Amino acid sequence: MAMVFIDKAVIIQYPHSMTLLTLQLLLCLFTVADEWDTLDPEESIYPLLKSFLPVSIFYNANVAFALASLKGVNIPMYIAIKRLTPLAVLIAGYLFGKGKPTTQVLLTAAGCVVAALGDFSFDLLGYGLALTRGVPTMFPSLGSLASVLLTICYNKDFFTPRCLQTMYLVLVEKSGAQDGVSSIEIMFYNSFLSLPFLSFLIIATSEFPNSISLLLAKCSYLPFLVILVLSLVMRIVLNFTMFLCTIVNSAITTTIVGVLKGVGSTTLGFVLLGGVEVHMAPRLDFSDWWAKDTRKGTPVVVKMENPNYSVVEIQGPDSAFRPVEKSRGKNAKQVTWVLLLKAHRAVGCLTWFATVFWSLLGAIKKRLSFTHPLGSERLGRDRWLFTAIKLFLALSLLILGFEIIAYFRGWHYFESPSLHIPTSTLEIQSLLHLVYVGWLWLRADYIAPPIKALSKFCIVLFLIQSVDRLILCLGCFWIKYKKIKPRFDEEPFRNDDAEGCGYVYPMVLVQIPMCNEREVYEQSISAVCQLDWTKDRILVQVLDDSNDESIQQLIKAEVAKWSQKGVNIIYRHRLVRTGYKAGNLKSAMSCDYVEAYEFVAIFDADFQPNPDFLKLTVPHFKDNPELGLVQARWTFVNKDENLLTRLQNINLCFHFEVEQQVSGVFLNFFGFNGTAGVWRIKALEESGGWLERTTVEDMDIAVRAHLHGWKFIYLNDVKVLCEVPESYEAYKKQQHRWHSGPMQLFRLCLGAILTSKIAIWKKANLILLFFLLRKLILPFYSFTLFCIILPLTMFVPEAELPVWVICYIPVFMSFLNLLPSPKSFPFIVPYLLFENTMSVTKFNAMVSGLFQLGSSYEWIVTKKAGRSSESDLLSITEKETPSKRSQLLRGVSDSELLELNQLEEQKQAVAKKPVKKINKIYHKELALAFLLLTAAVRSLLAAQGVHFYFLMFQGVTFLLVGLDLIGEQMS
């Protein structure tokens, strides 16, 4: 029911209905973009597109006429006209061979017609368009002729409507019932076929230049932007439900439900609006066919020299002195009900705001009252950034107090920096006024110029990074359009020379490095031991760096269990944990038996590969001697656990779907993700092996292998299940390591890159794009521009940032980031705000790594929750029975049986130690929250709408993150 009201609200302010329809279908196409992956690359889609072409044509004309009719018809009359649609569907279905409808259905359709006959009135064009949309296919020629005549009569343009709601509903029902096509597929093909046709119409009708500029101008108004987003989202929901209802039930069911929805919409409209007349278009005036401009009088332009007055332009006496039309009178009862409804809505809004504010204060009080010494973040040697933010905050509060005093004293110079500032002593009112005027001169002459220069520099970096992101997205679209992906022979290991034409599998070493991974060790070892590979051609190394003896015993017991099942698996433990993960892998590769293996697959402790992982990755190495690495994609078992995991899923989906895939296809190089990949051991050895010099050993070995000429392949279709951090504390530490390590590596390998023998363009890609743009510039400008310069410009309005920098481009870039995960579109605003919030952590890590400050070489293992997939939960019910266990142990010696029993007893005796978890308070985020909220108050004094909303919501986001109210909440 809400769709009609939303479309009406949008059309009143934005009359370009064709552009609105194009935006709705474009978002619909992105939402169901996953249908690309379901298409068979060997089959042609042209016959299927051809069969859906009539549905698309009828659908577009139907919605276009609906939006056009809403310009001239009020909502109740528009809904009344649509009541004729059920009768039209009945007749069309009868003509298509569905047979005679039942008596109940005929009576329902007749009731709709009777209800509609008393409602036709008044606006010829608007009702004619709506009637053409709902009127019958029983008289197609008459309907088309009426539409042509109406359109010609009104604006002298010849446009013949070819489609009606009846036709496309009947065709949708036919596609679902006979062709077996789902509603999602119909939405996908309908949007795909509609966009070229609508783009042509927008250009042909001259909507294109004006509609885009008007849309950008209107989007700066927040209420319109909210209504527009609702219209786009509601169109997707409406299309899905309407197609689904038509396929599952029938076209007549969909139209009758639409009539009932219309009755509810009319009732709701009269209740909400209190009987007030809705927007009506002017009556059709036939005199403008032949009459020209008949307005009399000489145009007069009045210009006032005082800039406080606006310019008034009077075209003639008619426009200035036309009598005011009297509004329709309302009785006392109607006025009372309208006032009561408005008061009820106002009280409801105030109650909601009060509840939210009280809940936020309660959460803040609860966190601040926690006085445990571990309840706050340890700043350590990274205190420099927090100190700078505190000084900036203190200065901002001082200036804000000064500005508030000036505001109440009437010194409104900050509202317009170009206004006259007092210079003579006669204009100075007091000593405080003199100080304030001095501050204005200091601000304009000495503070604003360097801020402008820094902001321009950051904007240039922002635009460069945006262009890079856009090029990556275009590359991803090209890969999907051309269906480019690495392939191999169906039987890569078939050896005709072998006896019986058998298969010869290469020797593969599988490594699982872990450290104190109590929650996930069992499921990762279980998944790796079930890999589908010849048992005598695979060896599993469990590389345990745990310093907790109880966890060591648990892992040993798990390894022994799989060893008894016949899996070739060994357990390794280092007494001295040097070099973290790199040292662990380096120690394992130094074993003598590794020389017999050709490839090594690496999985972190929370990764669970599918049994066919090796058969989907290792074959790519055959007949490709230059290939050094095959990287698989990550998928996340806990991506929907909380808001934090959902936002991480957006970033990682873009990283794998766009960045890794485009770099792998076009450059044969990308950063190794440290896990879920298969290396050629020869490539590792020639590149120098694992080094312990940074905390990003995976990126280090990838860069060195690239400098030695090895190529990489990324497989987007091969997915390995894992976890993302569920608490903000774990995510913050992970991001610190991921952003400080690359800067360490850049300092260490810059000389090697410059002196290497690879092509110059590869050197430029490594230095300019891989390191500088994506690892250094991105955190620098995002923190400096949105967390420092933007609040600073609120106190220095001479350097104010344009709206497109803080609104349009960030929203567009967030939209691009969400394309690989279309189901995350409802989180676009939280994602944008959270990314700006994380910029302080990434900037601090980048500076620490670049200049070797603070904890740049600190490695903290990311905590896991041990979430299980559906397959894991099913396997729990398939535990071994005592009979199977006795059969397994029948061939075991007495000493091995004794050792196994001891390990089992230790595993059962070791209970999980209760670890007291707490939510922490993060000082830098809290300081920035108060800084941004202070700047928001300052922008409110200057009546800066978009700046105020951005600063307020960004400040609240920093406050929530600083109090650790995002992510996992501890009791």
CB contact at 8 A, 761 and 914 = no
Torsion of CA 437, 438, 440, 445, to 10 degrees: 140
Decide if 19 is inside a domain.
yes
| Three-state SS letters, 598-618 | CEEEECCCCCECCCCHHHHHH
Is 899 among the domain residues? no
Beta strand 627-636 with 711-722 is parallel
Asked if residue 628 belongs to a domain, the reply is: yes
Distance CA 767, CA 61 (A): 52
* Assigned domain for 707 exists: yes
For residue 794, give the nearest of 953, 931, 932, 935 by alpha carbon.
935
Q: Quick one: angle between helices 17-31 and 46-72, nearest 10? A: 140
801 and 734 inside one domain: yes
Is residue 348 a part of any domain in this protein? no
What gap in Å lies between CA 188 and CA 55, rounded to an integer?
12
**∠ CA(669), CA(654), CA(618), 5° rounding?**
45
Report, as ranges of residue numbers, the positions in the chain whose pLDDT lies below 50.
Answer: 1, 117-164, 177-178, 267-328, 371-374, 498-501, 870-892, 910-914
- Give the other-Cβ count within 10 Å of 69's Cβ: 27
Same domain, 751 and 633: no
Say whether both 247 and 197 belong to one domain: yes
pTM: 0.64
Q: Identify the CA nearest to 494 among candidates 503, 485, 486.
A: 503
My answer on whether 464 and 433 are in the same domain is yes
The vertex-408 CA angle with 403 and 414, nearest 5°, equals 40
- Report residue 652 as tokens: 């990682």
Q: Is 141 helix (H, G, I), strand (E, B) or coil?
A: helix
* End-to-end Cα separation, the chain, in angstroms: 42
Question: Tokens 């670049």, residue?
Answer: 850
Query: Could you tell me which residues are beta bridge partners of residue 926?
Result: none
Domain boundary among 215, 239, 270: 270
Q: Which two tokens stand for residue 918?
A: 């707490």
Distances (CA, A) of 947 to 418, 794, 925, 956, 957: 20, 8, 20, 14, 15
Give the pLDDT confidence score for residue 352 in this predicted structure: 72
Q: Clarify whether residues 719 and 739 are in a common domain.
A: no
Same domain, residue pair 466 and 516: no
- State how far the Cα of 967 lies from the Cα of 919, in Å rounded to an integer: 10
Q: Which pLDDT score is estimated for 503?
A: 64
Provide CB contacts within 8 A for 385, sequence distance 6+. 840, 843, 844, 847, 924
> Which DSSP letter does residue 413 get?
G
DSSP letters spanning 54-86: HHHHHHHHHHHHHHHHHHHS-HHHHHHHGGGHH
The secondary structure of the chain in percent helix, strand, coil, rounded to multiples of 5, reads 65, 5, 30
Is the domain of 475 the same as that of 546? no
CA distances from 512 to 413, 539, 642, 966 (A): 66, 11, 28, 31
Task: Determine the Cα–Cα distance for residues 151 and 121; give it in Å rounded to an integer.
Answer: 18
570 contacts 559 by C-beta, under 8 angstroms: yes
The count of other CB atoms within 10 Å of the CB of residue 622 is 13
Active site includes 497? no
Q: Which of 382, 545, 604, 700 is catalytic?
A: 545
Q: What are phi and psi of 720, to 5 degrees?
A: -120, 130
Cα distance between residue 745 and residue 699, in whole Å: 8
Which one of 700, 724, 748 terminates a domain?
724
- CATH number for position 560: 3.90.550.10
Tell me, yes or no, whether 585 and 720 share the same domain. Answer: yes
**Looking up tokens 């279905």, which residue turns up?**
93
Neighbours of 527 (CB within 10 A): 23
Q: 717 an active-site residue?
A: no
Lookup result for tokens 């010099």: 693
CA distance 159 to 519: 67
Q: How far apart are CA 729 and CA 79, in angstroms?
A: 54
Number of H helices, E strands in the chain: 39, 9
How many domains in the chain? 3
Report in angstroms the alpha-carbon separations of 713 from 474, 597, 662, 763, 904.
20, 21, 11, 19, 42
CA 210 – CA 968 distance, rounded (Å)? 47
Measured in whole angstroms, the distance separating CA 861 from the mean position of its chain's CA atoms is 27
Is residue 913 assigned to a domain?
no
Task: In whole angstroms, give the CA distance from residue 598 to residue 11.
Answer: 65
Spatial distance between the Cα atoms of 661 and 669, rounded to a whole number of angstroms: 10
Q: HEC string of 212-227? A: HHHHHHHHCCHHHHHH
Q: Indicate whether 625 and 745 sit together in one domain.
A: no
Q: pLDDT averaged over the chain?
A: 74
Cα–Cα dist 103/82, whole Å? 21
Q: Which domain holds residue 676?
A: 503-724
Q: Are 666 and 708 in contact (CB under 8 A)?
A: no
Q: Are 458 and 517 contained in the same domain?
A: no
- Whether residue 902 lies inside any domain: the answer is no
CA 584 from centroid of its chain's CA atoms: 37
d(CA 105, CA 94): 13
Given 544, 698, 700, 964, which residue is catalytic? 698
Choose the final residue of a domain: 724, 739, 766: 724
Query: Is residue 291 assigned to a domain?
Result: no
Residues 544 and 636 reside in one and the same domain: yes
- Tell which residue, 816, 827, 480, has the closest CA to residue 661: 480
CA distance 96 to 103: 19
Residue 11, C-beta contacts closer than 8 angstroms, at least 6 positions apart: 17, 20, 67, 70, 71
Whether 546 and 516 have beta carbons less than 8 Å apart is answered as yes
720 shares a domain with 794? no
